Chain A
């Protein structure tokens, strides 16, 4: 799915440079489930942004399905996020002035789906994450776990091949954390590729394998499930 070729990302801010990714070469095959761990500031979010087509690396190449992501015009990369890549965030990033159902509809609005199809698909996705009875609630009227499930439904709405998750369970208690991880595992079993950043070893254990980032340097630390 992904192939990273000597990817380096250097931030320059007010004369200071920070090497967030340091000559990273990485292969993420189709239907992989990777956990990315590492200390704060080690470049985990930077890696996800690069994978999501939102942050051009300073040097190196990022191939998605054989296509060089950063050789595409910005509009095409944006469109790719709409069709191939789904995101899950630590703070859910739901739109507060839209209902659960409308939030799930957003990727479908952007894809230009008809109103009927939008609603049918959104209700289907909310049903899948067990929120069929909360479709007209605003985010503020939902629990944290429910909000993250709405976000999962939104991610799934246009059936992406890749899901990029940045600490998806970071704001959740242990019970809802398990629930969310169970859904992510399901999505993986559907055939999707998942890259998930996490601090928590228990969460990382849901993945096929773990990559450890240290000051921008990636080290594969094997497959905990196989171990």
Chain B
């Protein structure tokens, strides 16, 4: 038997109060780990999105506040589709592609889905009025000063190009494109027939997984969606694929002048908002962490005091048998260390599981465990537990061994 096994046996004789006192500390670590985990990975994802996205300017109805770029069209507010034509005709420098969208709620076999109407590029090219102004190539705008993007580089007619470039060459009136998750959920594949809003559609393709809410969507032709939902010629958003430097420069002012009754948002703004929200979350998580650690420290201290009182006679006996004050102190601080490490590991595990469940659901971010947080969790939880047990341990070590003779 060693000091360690002595601590272990004492702890397990009546573990409930000790483990209960650990709850707040564990929760503190859980909150920190979960929130930090999500914010860190959502920041990484935003950075990744910045690079991979073609669309970097959004034209929205004026009353929209924007939180998540991917949900920019899910607000239910509309504006006339005619704006798309106006933009195309304006031939602004830097504009490479226009992608209007209209989202409506629908269901397939009682499973609710978000049906998103999109306009294939062939639609632009088909309009004779637009052909007249030089839109024979798939760029919708002027080629002056344009940097290459996936859209302009790829002559890709692959329907899955929608996942990365936000546009597609062809899409028939009764064709559908399914997001990866939704396809799995519906058990549908290419060529299958699906009924939505009273019309039959054929699945043209299934998009590769993107880790965004696009994975849960179904795409169809804009005009089909407008007709079936009886919404008239309107859209929720117009995504603009613009050259990076132009998007930052005169393009925004040009767009605002051309469409004064809309709200123009750049991806950079969206990202900034999201980064700011993340920063706030991250700071908040430290606040939660500190508060819960304080509460946890107080509850550990009180349970430790009770423990010392409860074990008075046993401590006295150990001292009568030759246990030094140092030994008794080490017994209680050792127990505190054990609890702290357990709280740190427990909090890390729960927090990581929480993050990996909530991350994808709330923010569309998939997360991985962060070992750095494990270290922070264990070290701080242990420090708090040991600090909280310091005075109780001193009280135990200061007990008078003469109490062993008193019969109670």
Contact = CB atoms under 8 A, between A and B. Distances in A.
A154 B316 CA distance: 15
Given A89-B405, A93-B404, A95-B314, A78 B1 contact: no
Interface string B285-298: 00000000000000
B9 A107 contact: no
Contacts of A90: 407
Chain B interface mostly helix, strand, loop or mixed? helix
Contact of A110 (B12, B313, B321, B325): B321
A87 B404 CA distance: 10
A93 B318 CA distance: 9
A54 B401 contact: yes
Interface in B350-408: 400-402, 404-405, 407
A154 B317 CA distance: 11
Contacts of A105: 1
B322 interface: yes
Contacts of B10: 97
Interface in B1-21: 1-3, 6, 9-10, 12-13
Interface string A108-138: 0111000100100000000000000000000
Contact of B3 (A109, A115, A118): A109
A79 B322 contact: yes
B323 interface: yes
A150 interface: no
Contacts of B404: 87, 89, 93
Nearest to B406: A45
B273 interface: no
A49 interface: yes
Given A45-B405, A48-B405, A91-B407, A97 B9 contact: yes
Interface in B270-323: 313-314, 316-323
A55 interface: yes
Contacts of A96: 13, 314
Determine the interface band of chain A, counting residues with CB < 8 A from chain B.
20 to 34
Nearest to A119: B1
Nearest to A80: B322
Contacts of B3: 109
Q: Which of B2, B10, B317, B323 has the most CB of A within 10 A?
A: B317
Of B9, B317, B321, B402, chain A has the most CB atoms within 10 Å of the CB of B321
A54 B1 contact: no
A98 interface: yes
A136 to B, nearest CB: 13
A124 B138 CA distance: 94
B317 A78 contact: no
B320 A81 contact: yes
A105 B321 CA distance: 11
Contacts of A79: 322, 324
A166 to B, nearest CB: 5
A80 B318 CA distance: 13
Contact of B322 (A48, A74, A83): A83
B327 interface: yes
A87 B322 CA distance: 11
B322 A110 contact: yes
A87 B324 contact: no
A169 to B, nearest CB: 14
Given A49-B405, A89-B405, A115 B322 contact: no
A105 B5 CA distance: 12
Contacts of A74: 325
A97 B318 CA distance: 13
A82 to B, nearest CB: 2
Interface of B: 1-3, 6, 9-10, 12-13, 313-314, 316-327, 400-402, 404-405, 407
8 contacts: A52-B320, A54-B320, A82-B322, A93-B404, A96-B314, A105-B1, A110-B322, A154-B321
Given A97-B12, A107-B321, A115-B1, 13 more contacts: A45-B405, A78-B322, A78-B324, A78-B325, A79-B324, A89-B317, A93-B313, A95-B318, A97-B13, A98-B9, A106-B1, A111-B322, A166-B405
